Structure 1
Amino acid sequence: MKDKYIVHFFSKTKKKMIDFIDQQLEEKGLEELIPSHGNILTVLYNHGELSMKEISQLIGKDKSTVTSLVASLCRLGYVKKKVSDKDKRITYISLSDKGKSIKNQYLSISEEVQSTAFKNFTEEEKKEFMRLLKRMNMNFSTELKK
């Protein structure tokens, strides 16, 4: 295997996954959303109302990126913002009725992505792939802390 091409293959795979998600969003009538919105919707579906800081920590994106994505989701009507009564520096984000209404469509897209990614993989191959990917991720996390 030509290990020197790993970045190339990860980049190609990521692009194809994003294109696939775009296609799924369009097919489900959600073309106004972009794949990057998915991380924020996921944490809100799983945790309910969260502060911007909590969202940033949970999805591993910097605050400016989260601020931009949340602003977009607010404009589109999928989430709403509320400033904390106790601390005006804290803004909480929650799903709007529109955001809640697309949960099943969103989960369906997530399942399609997962299913397509692991098509023709055995259960053992899936587990091994995820184990190795987590190890690779940890390798980079360790090196970035130095």
Structure 2
Amino acid sequence: MNDKYIVYFISKTKKKMINFIEKKLKEKGLNDLVPSYGNILTVLYDNDGKLTMKEIGELIGKDKSTVTVLVNKLSKLGYVKKEKSKEDRRVTYVKTTEKSIEIEEKFNDISKEVYLTAYKDFSVEEKEVLLKLLKKLNNNFDLE
């Protein structure tokens, strides 16, 4: 088996997925969004439109500085707003806005297309094995 191409194909697949998502965003008229905003919008949509910055980071597996940059960009575009907690001023909530609520259906359509395209011709068992192996590969790079 020639396993030296595994990392190459993972990288190539990621690039193709990003290109696919960018194309779908343009088709839906969401030209100001980029794929990296997707995880934040997804977790907000899945959690009644309000989470702390810390919760977002934990749910999407990104550090505080990365989340801050992405949230600030989404805020400037009008998709989210930041709000300080009344109970604890150190806590910042991120909330969906009317603009992000208006695009939720389009966003979910794109997510569904990505999912269906990614798993086309995969059996349930193959998806389970793929996920298990990708988690194992991912864990191999934990720096501890």
Moved over 3 A (4+): 138-141
Pairwise CA RMSD: 1.3
Matched, 1:19 2:19: yes
Counterpart position of 1:44:
44
Matched, 1:63 2:64: yes
Q: Deviations over 1:103-128 (max 9, x none)?
A: 11111111111111112223332222
TM-score, normalisation: structure 1: 0.91
Distance in 1 (CA, whole Å) between partners of 2:112 and 2:31 is 18
Equivalent pairs counted in the alignment come to 143
Distance in 2 (CA, whole Å) between partners of 1:111 and 1:84 is 34
Structure 1 vs Structure 2: percent identity of aligned residues?
57
Unaligned segments of structure 2, at least 5 residues? none
Unaligned segments of structure 1, at least 5 residues? none
CA drift at 1:131 = 2.5
TM-score, normalisation: structure 2: 0.92
CA drift at 1:86 = 1.7
Distance in 2 (CA, whole Å) between partners of 1:9 and 1:71 is 32
Q: Deviations over 1:78-98 (max 9, x none)?
A: 111101112222110010011
Distance in 1 (CA, whole Å) between partners of 2:39 and 2:87 is 27
